[in-house]
Amino acid sequence: MDKRPNPVALFRCAYLDLFVSTFRTLGQDVTSDLSEARLPLEWPKCRGEYAPALPAFAFVTAAAQRHGIEDFGFLAGARLKLTDFDVGVRGELDKAETLGDALNSYCALVGREQSYLLCHLSEHAGGEVRICATAAALEPGHALNQYSEWLLIMSLVAIVRHATTSDWHPSQIAFQSQPGLGESVWRAFPETRFAVAQGQTWITVSAETLSLPWPARKDTAEPQQVPAKPASYLWDFPTSLSLALRPYLADGYPSIELAAKLVGMSVRTLQRRLNQCHQSYSDVVKQLRFGIAAELLRNPDKTVLDTACEVGFSDPSHFSRAFRQMAGVSPREFRKQQLAA
């Protein structure tokens, strides 16, 4: 029996925005780097909560090297705040009573931030606890990238600092990759021991620190509910592929060649993975377009023409015909029914 294919590696678009804004803060124009990586040039305008991780990290790696920026992963990660987390993750952190509760909640939901990560707390010698992560859903040959690790590490540091002090630092930070550690890192973590080429990514925190009370966030307006979204390792391949394609719909029908490039495999392999899930590529795009169109048509501020354009149809009549095939009614009829409900 065929094993179900791993989901596509994704991370939240907010992190790509963070990388781009860090480059720009440092005075670097990365427009050509984004284009070469097949990433939208104006990402904040693109629909979609997630970005395909492989081209995103390829962009960061190439741009950091081309512009000669030392410690770029750390510099971007150091700008992370709790408010940058997924709304569902923030909602669960708000329920924590202790730092240990908060860290366990984050580990349980880390896949909402970077879909391929699994994270857990592990007791270690000397009264220390390691917060460890592995890449569970990356395709063979796709190693965990140092920029992905810095996002995770600085997210964990931000959580611990929320309950301790702004200058708290781990006694040890370990990477699966082999990043260069420059002056910015040593200045920020002067007493931290670093390890590279490890089997897991981790930071250490003292066991007694985990019992510290978890402070309420001042920016919390009201409790947030965790969205009805499965954990990363339960996402199926077609669903994660849809999330990777979503930001590209406004440019028209995304070709299967583009999709294969985004997920780091050949067209033939992509088709085989979808066949294992009893779907075709056209099925995935059709369902994705319909889902987004239905969502937009519920918004009274969006016209049918706006909706057609945002899901990649240049001809509104083609959009209406495709929508009717899926919904059984025209976009205007669907919109009228939804707004009347």
Amino acid at 41: L
Report yes or no on 49 lying in a domain: no
Residue 71's nearest CA partner among 172, 181, 166, 208 is 181
pLDDT at 45 over 90: no
Residue 288 sits in a domain whose CATH number is 1.10.10.60
- Look at residue 28 in the predicted model and tell me its pLDDT: 93
Output helix, strand, coil percentages for the chain, rounded to the nearest 5: 55, 10, 35
Report yes or no on 44 lying in a domain: no
Q: Are 222 and 300 members of one domain?
A: no
**Could you tell me if 307 and 319 are in contact, meaning their C-beta atoms sit under 8 angstroms apart?**
yes
- Look at residue 1 in the predicted model and tell me its pLDDT: 42
> pLDDT tens digits, residue range 110-139?
988 998 888 999 988 888 999 999 877 555
> pLDDT tens digits, residue range 206-263?
999 999 999 987 665 554 444 445 444 467 899 999 999 988 888 889 999 999 999 8
- Look at residue 227 in the predicted model and tell me its pLDDT: 47
Residue 149's nearest CA partner among 72, 216, 214 is 72
**Could you tell me if 43 and 171 are in contact, meaning their C-beta atoms sit under 8 angstroms apart?**
no
Q: Are 241 and 227 members of one domain?
A: no
Q: Are 279 and 292 members of one domain?
A: yes
Residue 61's nearest CA partner among 126, 148, 129, 183 is 148
Report yes or no on 153 lying in a domain: yes
- Look at residue 278 in the predicted model and tell me its pLDDT: 93
DSSP 49: S
> pLDDT tens digits, residue range 68-123?
999 999 999 999 999 999 998 999 999 999 999 999 999 999 988 998 888 999 98
Domain that holds residue 136: 72-233
Cα 245 to chain centroid distance, Å, stands at 13
From residue 59, how far is each of 10, 19, 133, 285 by CA, in Å?
A: 14, 10, 23, 25
Q: Are 238 and 209 members of one domain?
A: no
Average pLDDT, the chain: 88
CA distance 122 to 114: 20
DSSP 224: P
Amino acid at 313: F
Q: Are 86 and 96 members of one domain?
A: yes
Report yes or no on 278 lying in a domain: yes
Domain count, the chain: 2
pTM listed for this prediction? 0.87
CA quadruple 77, 82, 84, 87: dihedral sign: positive
Q: Are 260 and 224 members of one domain?
A: no
pLDDT at 36 over 70: yes
